[in-house]
């Protein structure tokens, strides 16, 4: 039976799933939520409800924060700083890397061991091997909270920079976002001739599955940094993309998702890199600090 007192701040969809999983695993759990009525199913199942965040902080050795956003987290943690001193706080709320670093600095100033987490899962996946949770920040805090965190799903410590978990989360979400927009572009094009989205979805899935392994080749070109492998070039890609844009427009479909990509390739070509490997586009994505 696990020992340790865990507090969960926030009982939305994700916080509720996390509190339930920890309770079911055998942890003594205290919960707090702005809308107090949401604590009822948890107290009925064996958790204790705290009336205030400071009370909730007092009741746990490890405090998991699953609130809406960075502002909400700081709004509720700051008044409880004295109660959190000497404890482990694991913030699973989605934040940006710099927001995570800012909360880590605030925690350090108040003697709080801070871990920032990123949940790569939906609430129904919590407690299953399909859930992947990333953590960064205080490694000692990770060692203390580790057994409880392992109950939530696959746990990975990504490094001492508190922003790393969030950065990886955001990077993977960026990849997903652009991929799903590509899917919608294909659906929009095929819909113009009456093909239902579900049929195009199957086609896109097979096509992307065949193409995805090439991602590692792209990565090798970027890591090599020379962009001279003689593979698909910027100018070759420009011609291909121009055709896709024209085809979209011919079918009455906007190309506004594709146009920024073409602009980046055009910029590369105009600066003398038309013969470079197309992944050189990454240079256009990097903003000098
Ligand atoms: N749900 C998911 O699939 C995703 C998976 C990836 C990571 N996210 C992040 O997890 C955080 C919480 O998400 P959630 O799904 O639990 O969100 P909600 O169900 O909307 O619950 C939000 C909770 O935040 C409380 N809250 C909102 N505003 C305030 C406030 N000003 N003061 C105090 N608490 C606040 C809200 O309380 P209430 O509305 O019930 O009173 C909920 O407890 C989030 O960062 C996701 O990005 C989940």
List the residue whose alpha carbon is closest to atom 17 of ligand 1: 12
pLDDT for the residue numbered 3: 75
What is the best residue among 10, 21, 96, 168 to mutate for testing ligand 1's pocket, by most ligand atoms within 8 Å of CB? 10
| Segment 138-145 long-range contacts (CB within 8 Å, at least 24 positions apart) | 138/88, 138/104, 138/113, 138/114, 138/162, 140/113, 141/88, 141/89, 141/90, 141/113, 141/114, 141/115, 142/115, 144/61, 144/62, 144/88, 144/113, 145/62, 145/88, 145/90, 145/115
Atom nearest to 94 CA in ligand 1:
45
DSSP conformation letters of 105-173: HHHHHTT-EEEEEEEES-GGGTTSTT-EEEEEE-HHHHHHHHHHHHTTSEEEEEESSTTHHHHHHHHHH
Q: What lines the ligand 1 site, CB under 6 Å? A: 10-15, 33-35, 38, 66-69, 72, 76, 93-94, 119, 122-123
Kindly report the protein residue whose alpha carbon is nearest to atom 7 of ligand 1: 119
Contact between 88 and 146 under an 8 Å Cβ cutoff? The reply is no
Secondary structure class of 31 (helix, strand, coil)? strand
The span from the CA of 141 to the CA of 144, in Å, is: 5
DSSP bridge partners of 6: 29, 62
**How far is the CA of 241 from the CAs of 68, 205, 237, 263, 280, in angstroms?**
39, 20, 6, 10, 16
Residue nearest to atom 11 of ligand 1 (CA): 93
- Residue 7: beta bridge partners? 30, 63
Distance from C-alpha of 3 to C-alpha of 54, rounded to nearest angstrom: 22
- Give the per-residue pLDDT at 10: 98
Measured N-to-C along each axis, helices 164-191 and 197-211 cross at an angle, to the nearest 10 degrees, of 130
- pLDDT on residue 288: 84
Map tokens 């799933």 to a residue.
17
pTM attached to this predicted model: 0.94
Site to probe by mutation for ligand 1, drawn from 35, 50, 68, 125 as the one with most ligand atoms within 8 Å of Cβ, is 68
* Domains parsed from the chain with CATH numbers: 5-160 (3.40.50.720), 168-285 (1.10.1040.10)
- Beta-sheet strand order (sheet of 48-49): 48-49, 28-32, 5-9, 62-65, 88-91, 113-120, 132-137, 154-159
Query: Residue 237 is encoded by which pair of tokens?
Result: 């890609």
Pocket probe for ligand 1: among 32, 34, 74, 176, the residue whose CB has the most ligand atoms within 8 Å is 34
Which pLDDT does position 1 carry in this prediction?
62
Nearest Cα to 21, choosing from 47, 3, 40, 48?
Answer: 47
- What is the Å distance from ligand 1's center to 11 Cα? 7
227 in Cβ contact with 279 (< 8 Å): yes
- pLDDT digit of tens for each residue in the chain (289 aa)? 677 899 999 999 999 999 999 999 999 999 999 999 999 999 999 999 999 999 999 999 999 999 999 999 999 999 999 999 999 999 999 999 999 999 999 999 999 999 999 999 999 999 999 999 999 999 999 999 999 999 999 999 999 999 999 999 999 999 999 999 999 999 999 999 999 999 999 999 999 999 999 999 999 999 999 999 999 999 999 999 999 999 999 999 999 999 999 999 999 999 999 999 999 999 999 988 7
How large is the C-alpha radius of gyration of the chain? 24
């Amino acid at each position: 039976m696990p020992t340790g007192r865990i507090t969960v701040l926030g009982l939305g969809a994700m916080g509720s799933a996390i509190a339930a999983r920890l309770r079911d695993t055998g942890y003594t759990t205290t919960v707090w939520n702005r809308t107090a009525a949401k604590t009822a199913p948890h107290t009925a199942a064996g958790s204790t409800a705290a009336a205030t965040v400071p009370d909730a902080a007092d009741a746990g050795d490890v405090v998991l924060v699953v609130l809406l956003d960075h502002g909400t987290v700081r709004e509720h943690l700051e008044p409880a700083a004295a109660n959190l001193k000497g404890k482990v706080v694991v913030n699973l709320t989605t934040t940006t890397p710099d927001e995570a670093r800012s909360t880590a600095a605030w925690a350090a100033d108040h003697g709080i061991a801070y871990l920032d987490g990123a949940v790569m899962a939906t609430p129904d996946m919590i407690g299953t091997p399909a859930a992947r949770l990333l953590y960064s920040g205080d490694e000692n805090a990770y060692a203390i909270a580790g057994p409880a965190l392992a109950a939530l799903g696959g746990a990975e410590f990504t490094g001492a920079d508190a922003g790393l978990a969030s950065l990886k989360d955001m990077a993977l979400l960026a990849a997903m976002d652009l991929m799903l927009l590509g899917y919608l572009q294909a659906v929009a094009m095929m819909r113009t001739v009456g093909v239902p989205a579900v049929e195009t979805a199957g086609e896109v899935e097979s096509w992307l599955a065949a193409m995805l392994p090439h991602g590692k080749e792209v990565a090798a070109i970027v890591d090599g940094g020379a962009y001279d492998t003689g593979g698909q070039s910027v100018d070759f890609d420009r011609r291909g993309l121009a055709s896709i844009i024209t085809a979209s427009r011919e079918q009455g479909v906007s190309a506004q998702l594709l146009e920024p990509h073409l602009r980046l390739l055009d910029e590369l070509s105009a600066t003398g890199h038309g013969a470079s490997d197309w992944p050189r586009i990454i240079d256009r994505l990097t903003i000098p600090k």
